[in-house]
A and B are shown apart, each in its own frame.
Chain A
Amino acid sequence: MTLTVCRIDDRLIHGQVVVGWGRPFEIERIVLVDDEVAASEFERELYRMAVPEQMALEFLTVAEATARLPALAEARDRVLVLTGSIPVMAALARSHPELVRQINVGAVHDGPGRREYARYVYLSEQELATLLGLVDLGIKVRAQDLPEARAISVAGWKPTR
């Protein structure tokens, strides 16, 4: 068993995740892995508002998610694992590369030290190196904001220096 979708999106739960990916992939459970959100009742309440009633939603710390991934992969429902950053998804993938077979780089916006690799993906050298390291583990890492968009393999991306 593997997880249905593993997505990196720095906006966390929003329309593209819930509707854009949730509907076509018939996602039944979203697992948001973020230490800050997991620790904040206020933020958890905010994100619950974005998820329809019939969709389960879990908030986990990175440590909790690492321990829970095998159970999630074995679960009957279709699971979307969501992280807001590349290091967090990389930590999950390295802990269970047999379960995280594909990573969807959905949105990493521009910021200090980052350069554009796709319209919705800006990476620092370190972030690119992290993603390429996951490719070396045999994980398919692809940039794709929505399912109908063309998936772009990160494996072909080159560092700038």
Chain B
Amino acid sequence: MTDDLHGVVVAHGAIAPALVESVEEITGVRGVLVPVSNSGCDRGRLEERILAAVGDRRAVVFVDMPSGSCLFAAARRLASHPGVKLVTGVNLAMLVDFVFHRDLTVELAAERAADTGSRAISQR
């Protein structure tokens, strides 16, 4: 049995399942990321979806925006949750990198994801 991290992707509309599907197609690594959409949810229901996706395992929760309903729902219920870190501004680059670095501590994995995601943004 492995204690590797898993990821939860929380985003508006259909973004989360699309990101997870894309990561799986690119990497071939499946079952590591759990998508959560805010569609059709009030705050309470979204919080329950996120908690169910995290379960009792160590996890990095990736949220699409640095504010808004997805972050609020995640932060409200997970701020004091041991073994869980939040990363905002989720993008494909950070998720692809994350699935290959799940043996890190949750703190290091979150830090690495934020750094990888930031470096993926540029202008040319």
B65 neighbours in A (Cβ, 8 Å): 15
Q: Shortest beta-carbon distance, B73 to chain A, in Å?
A: 9
Name the one of B66, B69, B79 contacting A11, with C-beta atoms under 8 angstroms: B69
Which one of B20-28, B36-44, B89-97, B109-117 contacts A?
B36-44
A94 interface residue, CB < 8 Å from B? no
Interface residues of A in 1-27 (CB under 8 A from B): 10-12, 14-15
- Is B75 a contact partner of A109 (Cβ separation < 8 A)? no
Give the size of the chain B interface in residues (CB under 8 angstroms): 16
The answer to whether A43 touches B42, judged by C-beta atoms less than 8 angstroms apart, is: no
- Identify A46's interface contact among B40, B42, B45, B71, CB under 8 A: B71
Residues in A with CB closer than 8 Å to B71 are 46, 49
- Once bound together, how far apart are the Cα atoms of A10 and B47, in whole Å? 13
Secondary structure of the A contact surface, majority rule: loop
Q: List residues 4-51 of chain B with CB under 8 A from any CB of chain A.
A: 12, 40-43, 45
Alpha-carbon distance A32/B71, docked complex (angstroms): 18
Task: Give every chain B residue within 8 A of A110 (Cβ-Cβ).
Answer: 40
Report yes or no: B40 in contact with A50, Cβ–Cβ below 8 A. Answer: no
The smallest beta-carbon distance between B68 and chain A, in angstroms, is 5
Q: How far is the CA of A10 from the CA of B69 in the complex (A)?
A: 10
Judging by beta carbons under 8 Å apart, are B42 and A109 in contact?
yes
**Contact A14 B69, beta carbon cutoff 8 Å:** yes
Give the shortest distance, in Å, between A127 (CB) and chain B (any CB): 13
Q: Indicate if the CB atoms of A10 and B43 lie closer than 8 Å.
A: yes
Contact B45 A49 (CB under 8 A): no
Q: How far is it, in angstroms, between the C-alpha of A49 and the C-alpha of B67 when the chains are bound?
A: 6
Q: Give bound CA distance, A47 to B67, whole Å.
A: 8
Contacts A42-B79, A43-B76 given; indicate if A49 touches B66 (C-beta within 8 A). yes
Interface residues of B in 58-76 (CB under 8 A from A): 65-69, 71-72, 75-76
Minimum CB–CB distance from A26 to chain B (whole Å) comes to 21
Contact B68 A109 (CB under 8 A): no
Chain B residues lying within 8 Å of A43, measured Cβ to Cβ, are: 72, 76
Determine if A111 is an interface residue (Cβ-Cβ < 8 Å).
yes
Contact residues in B for A14 (Cβ distance below 8 Å): 68-69, 72
Cβ of A109: which chain B residues have Cβ within 8 Å of it? 40-42, 45
B-contacting residues of A (Cβ < 8 Å)? 10-12, 14-15, 42-43, 46-47, 49-50, 84, 107-111
Known: A10-B42, A109-B40, A111-B42. 18 other contacts (CB 8 A): A11-B42, A11-B69, A12-B43, A14-B68, A14-B69, A14-B72, A15-B12, A43-B72, A46-B76, A49-B66, A49-B67, A50-B67, A50-B68, A84-B43, A107-B42, A108-B42, A109-B42, A111-B45
